[in-house]
Amino acid sequence: MHGLEEEAKHTTPFHTFDPCDGDNLARVVESLEAARKGDNTPLALFCQETAISNLLAIEEIQSVNTRSDILWDDATTAWMLSLPTSNGKMALPEPLDYGMHRQRLGRFPHGNGSPMKYILDNIIDDNSDERLMQLLHYLHDRLGESNVGHSGYAIGNGGLSLKGYLIHEEVQELRGLLQRGKWKVSSDEPLDGGVRDIAKHLTIILRNAISRKVGILHRSHT
């Protein structure tokens, strides 16, 4: 057992790109940030919406007046309350890909295993396409401490760590920019073809999100 625990310590997290309601994710994060500053009104109003209140009712949460009424940590709260809606109900969605694309992006064989960090470290930003870089950063760490000012979304129950996200319109935009192919790769890239491999698999994930009319949430779990 000790050997397995030691192995787990040195195993990089698995990264997934999950379907989400990007607009709701932006709103719940805004509401949680307001609650951190003492204003519970946005969160209370958000949780009154039918699909969200129905989801909370399953957890025997009948009403939300303050942040303490939701017992989940920030990461779990943001994840659960941004689940896509189907027929007026929120439920765990089908993955955007079950096969090769999910696996190739899941634990990239370099550094900390994050494909987003690798592509950002090795794609050339020559200021000709700042929007591409911005959207890649959004997907990489929009919910990171450097952007929100705390690590609450990175430390969730069961090893859940929310990294970044894109709303549906941004998903469409990023796919177009990646497919346009005007970006360049650093000559110092550690893995030959690594950036292009990530771009290829990420583009497929983005395409699937577009067809399902959802946003994308980048998260990792151990």
- According to the model, what pLDDT value does residue 103 have? 81
| Mean pLDDT, 10 residues at a time, the chain of 222 residues | 38 91 98 98 97 94 96 97 90 83 84 93 78 96 97 94 98 95 91 94 95 96 81
pLDDT of the residue at 129 = 66
**pLDDT the model gives residue 92:** 85
Domain boundaries, given as residue ranges, for the chain: 13-221
3-state secondary structure 68-124: HHCCCCHHHHHHHCCCCEECCEECCCCCCCCCHHHHHHHCCCCCCCCHHHHHHHHEE
Instruction: Specify the pLDDT at position 7.
Output: 37
